[in-house]
C-alpha cells in the first residue's frame, strides 16, 4: 500500500471537507435561528395597556382614512387588511405593527395600497409609487408616537395604479410625523368625505332620470318635459 503523505492527505481530505461543511451549516442554522430564539424569549405576556389600545385604535383609523377610496367603476377585491393588537411582552411598550392595506380592481387590473406607521426600516428612495416620511423606528411604537409614515402602491402599470398614486395625500401623511393622532371619530369623518377618483376607461355611471309625473307614465328627459310644459302653456293662452 502506498502510504506517502500525498496519499494520506488525499484519504483524509474528504472527511475533513465534509466535517467543515457540516460545521459551517450548523453555524448558519444557529445564526438564522438566533432571531427566532430571541423572540421566543417573550415567555411572560400581558394585556395591552389602555394607552397602547388607544394609540393602536387611533393609528389604524388614521391609516384606513388615508387609503384612497375605490375609484368610480372599481371594486374591492377583499376587505381591508389591518394589523391587530394582541398580547404584549412584559417589559416592552408599543411593540406592535401598524399597517392598513386595500386591494383594488378596475377593468380586470389590480392594485394594492399599503400605508404603515412606525416601520422598522424605510425604503431607500421615494418615487411616484412609494414614499417615507420621518425616520426609522427600530422599536416600532415604543414611545406611542408617530416616528414615520410609509406608503407604497403595487400592481401592473395601469390607469388604476396611476389614479391611486395621484390620490395619495402626501402632504397630510408627511404632516402626521411627530404629531398627535386624530381621534377615531375624526378619522372616520374624514374618510366619509373622500371623493373617489375617476379613472380613464372606467364604466360610466348610469344616467339619472326624473320620476314620472303620474303612475304608469314613462319618465321623460328634461328637454322633453320642458317641451310638454311649453305646449300646455300655449294651449292655456289660446283657450284650448
pLDDT in tens, 127-176: 889 999 999 999 999 999 999 999 999 999 999 999 999 999 999 999 99
Q: 54-75, pLDDT tens digit by residue?
A: 999 999 999 999 999 999 999 9
CA distance 116 to 98: 6
Task: Please provide the average confidence, as pLDDT, over all residues in the chain.
Answer: 78
Tell me the H-state helices in the chain: 5-39, 50-66, 159-167, 170-175, 184-192, 222-237
Q: Contact 59/98 with Cβ under 8 angstroms?
A: yes
- Selection from 144, 79, 81, 78 nearest residue 117 by Cα: 144
Q: 4-30, pLDDT tens digit by residue?
A: 555 444 445 444 444 444 444 443 333
| Per-residue pLDDT at 43 | 82
Q: Supply the angle between the helices 50-66 and 184-192 in degrees, to the nearest 10.
A: 10
User: Apex CA 119: angle with CA 114 and CA 125, to 5°?
Assistant: 75
CA distance 193 to 65: 10
Four-residue CA torsion sign, 180, 183, 189, 191: positive
Average pLDDT of 182-195?
97
Give the rounded percent of residues in the chain with a pLDDT score beyond 70: 66
| Per-residue pLDDT at 149 | 98
| Per-residue pLDDT at 229 | 59
Amino acid at each position: 500500500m502506498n502510504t506517502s503523505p500525498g496519499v494520506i492527505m488525499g484519504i483524509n481530505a474528504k472527511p475533513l471537507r465534509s466535517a467543515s461543511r457540516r460545521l459551517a451549516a450548523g453555524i448558519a442554522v444557529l445564526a438564522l435561528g438566533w432571531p427566532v430564539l430571541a423572540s421566543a424569549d417573550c415567555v411572560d405576556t400581558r394585556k395591552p395597556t389602555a394607552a397602547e389600545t388607544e394609540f393602536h385604535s387611533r393609528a389604524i383609523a388614521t391609516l384606513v382614512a388615508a387609503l384612497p377610496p375605490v375609484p368610480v367603476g372599481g371594486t374591492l377585491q377583499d376587505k381591508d387588511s389591518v394589523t391587530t393588537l394582541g398580547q404584549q411582552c412584559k417589559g416592552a411598550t408599543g411593540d406592535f405593527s401598524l399597517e392598513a392595506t386595500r386591494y383594488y380592481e378596475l377593468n380586470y387590473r389590480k392594485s394594492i395600497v399599503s400605508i404603515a406607521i412606525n416601520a422598522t426600516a424605510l425604503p431607500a428612495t421615494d418615487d411616484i409609487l412609494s414614499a417615507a416620511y420621518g425616520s426609522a423606528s427600530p422599536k416600532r411604537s415604543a414611545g406611542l408616537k408617530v416616528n414615520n409614515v410609509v406608503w407604497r402602491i403595487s400592481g401592473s402599470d395601469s390607469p388604476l395604479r396611476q389614479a391611486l398614486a395621484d390620490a395619495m395625500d402626501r402632504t397630510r401623511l408627511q404632516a402626521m410625523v411627530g404629531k398627535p393622532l386624530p381621534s377615531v371619530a375624526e378619522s372616520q369623518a374624514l374618510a366619509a368625505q373622500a371623493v373617489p377618483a375617476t379613472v380613464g376607461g372606467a364604466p360610466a355611471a348610469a344616467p339619472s332620470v326624473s320620476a314620472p309625473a303620474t303612475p304608469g307614465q314613462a319618465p321623460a328627459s328634461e328637454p322633453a318635459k320642458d317641451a310638454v310644459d311649453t305646449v300646455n302653456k300655449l294651449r292655456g293662452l289660446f283657450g284650448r
